[in-house]
Chain A
Amino acid sequence: MPAVLEIEGLRKTYKSRRRGTRNALDGFDMRVDAGQVHGFLGPNGSGKTTTLRTLLGLIRPDGGRMALLGHEVPDALPTVAGQVGAIVESPQFFPHFTARDTLSLLAGAGEVPAVRVDEVLELVGLRDRSGERVKTYSLGMKQRLAVASALLKNPKLLILDEPANGLDPGGIREMRTLMRTLAESGMTVVLSSHILGEIQLICDSVTIISLGRRVAFGPVDEVLAQHSSGAVRIRLEAVSDLPVATEALTQAGIRVTGHPDHLMLAGVDKPASVTRLLAEKNLYVSELAPIAVDLESVFLELTATAPVPGQHRQVDESMKVGGTGQPGPAGGGWGA
């Protein structure tokens, strides 16, 4: 599948006399294939928005290579800008214009047919409120307007930074459906969000960034599988057999955590080996359930941002991977 977005070794450094040097992007890599809905995840301050701004020509990179739709950017941005719709960070519009005026002016600047304004207003559910000034809109309505402005060009690549921010539950579901519909129509969607449950539901693939570097990437299932702890919960026919089972499993090299009515096993490659081992000891399993990991737990593990009781994590306290210029544990170079 051809890549519509490629980033290799992207670097951006901010220098300040007071605060010294900070690497916002430290050799970041990313690849998004055509037709996918791709999740772009990272803790606050990890470099997500800097990546998107750099990709869209708003920030000048200090190193690395970027390409959109097969064209090197930022040089070719004027060529590809008409095919890339984007909202970056929170939606920002001139507050005294109506939604229709806002979109109409953007359409004029981009030489998009005026009829497209009505289409996108309908699409994001703002048709009946399009004559009201943007300053009267709620955050969710502004978010819808931002998505409408990004869709105005009917782009091949849609980049949305936190599109569900401020949306009500119905709006979030509508946004999810819209993303899927757009992807099915051939549009590639890059979605940056902190609502990881949504990302897991919507996205085909993900990239996780931490402290300016990629820490994981690939199809969602693969990322989850790669970071599955191999945890298994077992119950035996007789609760009184649990201590014997614990001893047998521990001797076999499996990490066991005891509970009153079940055992939690960690580091189990093949659940069948557990049943075989216990059967040999005449211990019979009544329940064996692999514990599935979700994206949130993988994210927290990879970025080391899980809350710890009694500690107050600071924004930049997250996982940094590899040495200088080294790729992350899940691979480097041009994507998966």
Chain B
Amino acid sequence: MSLFRTELRRLSKRRFTRYMTLLGLLVLAAVVVGVFFTNQKIDAGQLARAERQADQQYQEQVRWSEQERVACEQAKTAGTATDGRYPDDCSVITPPPREEIKAEWFLPSTFDFKETFDETLIPFAAILALVGFVIGASFVGAEWSTGGMMNLLLWRPKRLTVLLTKLAALLTGILAVTLPAAVLWFAGFWAVANFRGSTEKMTSGVWQSFMLTGVRGVVLVLVLTTIGFALASLGRHTAMALGGVVAVMVVGQFGLGILLSMASVRFAEAWLLPTYALAWMTKTVTLQDWNSCNATYYGECKPATMDITWQQSSVLLSVGVVVILGAALWAMRRRDIS
């Protein structure tokens, strides 16, 4: 039996791997079930009722604005309109246009596959990336801390081959869980849309877009699994990876976020890692600076924006993997094992 197959067997035999995988899949299943029970299919009767409710809402708005306009003019005549309650010109008190009051507001939640499925791929990737990170860290961290790595190196004294084979087995195992899970995720939400929403307007372009988002999600899972593995190998303990990620998130992200916010730094989110993970999944994240005002031709004030693209995220992820895995391989090659 080859080292690769042995490592794959070792991975699948570990209780932690089994429990974490099961936990991750249960959370994903819970999300699908939750979405199923919180959505409804909309029939024509519900739609008509919603239209009627929107009409009623509009009529209420018309009545209310008329009352307010009259009250404004009376206050102005009486000379008591100086408390800032009413505008200078009472004629600006008008009801909203009818089309601004939408019938959907009065409908129960429904799952539109075309509009919503893309968003569900973000928690899918996030949950499996977390599972991959922890399993990856534990897989090699426990080997180091229990002496298993030393035992293995007495049998296979090629250190880099051993570490890279372990990583290859880990990624294969994670992929073996992620791909079927992704298929079930697609199928699950297709079923939710069928029974609790709509699968209309699906074109080949939409499917292609979903597939590409799914592939980026799988890549994110593999990248975070590799980083967890490399960090634990670098510190020769599972806690190194877990502690490292807690430190990065608490100090490097929450702390940094508060600091940047206090310093009123423009586009503070551009310094935070989750922004790049989100951009990787959604292709673009547009950050807005609400302290700035770009006046439009009509006098509207729009904030300055900054786009974080998935290409920028890909550079960050690649550099992260190369640096952390490179350091782990260097340490494996150079450091004594005692």
Chain A contacts to B: CB under 8 angstroms: 53, 56-60, 74, 77-78, 81-82, 84, 86, 88, 92-97, 101, 105-111, 149, 153
Contacts and interface: CB of A to CB of B under 8 A. Distances in A.
Interface in B120-172: 142-143, 146-148, 150-158
Given A92-B151, A93-B146, A95-B146, A109 B6 contact: yes
B148 A81 contact: no
A190 to B, nearest CB: 14
29 contacts: A53-B336, A53-B337, A58-B150, A58-B153, A58-B154, A58-B336, A59-B337, A59-B338, A60-B336, A74-B157, A81-B157, A84-B154, A92-B147, A93-B151, A94-B148, A97-B13, A105-B10, A106-B151, A108-B1, A108-B6, A109-B1, A109-B3, A109-B6, A109-B7, A109-B155, A110-B155, A111-B1, A149-B151, A153-B155
Contacts of B148: 92-94
A59 B155 contact: no
Nearest to A77: B157
Contacts of A105: 6, 9-10, 13
Nearest to B153: A58
A56 B1 CA distance: 23
Most chain B CB atoms below 10 A, which of A57, A78, A105: A105
A53 B334 CA distance: 15
Contacts of A74: 157
Contacts of A109: 1, 3, 6-7, 152, 155-156
Nearest to A109: B6
Contacts of B2: 108, 111
A94 B146 contact: yes
B10 to A, nearest CB: 5
B201 interface: no
B5 interface: yes
Contacts of B151: 92-93, 106, 149
Contacts of A53: 336-338
Given A92-B147, A92-B151, A109-B3, A57 B157 contact: yes
Contacts of A82: 155
Most chain A CB atoms below 10 A, which of B1, B7, B152, B154: B154
Contacts of B13: 97, 101, 105
A81 B157 CA distance: 7
A105 B7 CA distance: 8
B15 interface: yes
Contacts of B146: 92-95
Contact size class for B? 20 to 34
Interface in B54-104: none
B14 interface: yes
Most chain B CB atoms below 10 A, which of A56, A58, A97: A58
Closest 9 CB pairs of A and B: A92-B147, A108-B6, A108-B1, A77-B157, A58-B337, A110-B155, A59-B336, A57-B157, A109-B6
Contacts of A93: 146-148, 151
B5 A108 contact: yes
Nearest to A60: B336
A78 B15 CA distance: 31
B154 A86 contact: yes
A58 B147 CA distance: 12
Nearest to B334: A60
Contacts of A88: 150, 154
Contact of B155 (A96, A97, A106): A106
A81 B9 contact: no
A186 B3 CA distance: 29
Nearest to B336: A59
A96 B14 contact: yes
A106 B149 CA distance: 11
A110 B10 CA distance: 14
A108 B165 CA distance: 14
Contacts of A153: 155
A51 to B, nearest CB: 13
A94 B336 contact: no
Nearest to B155: A110
Nearest to B14: A96
Nearest to A12: B336
A78 B147 contact: no
Given A94-B142, A108-B6, A56 B154 contact: yes
Nearest to A97: B13
Given A88-B150, A153-B155, 11 more contacts: A53-B336, A58-B150, A58-B153, A58-B336, A77-B157, A81-B155, A86-B154, A92-B147, A94-B148, A108-B9, A109-B155
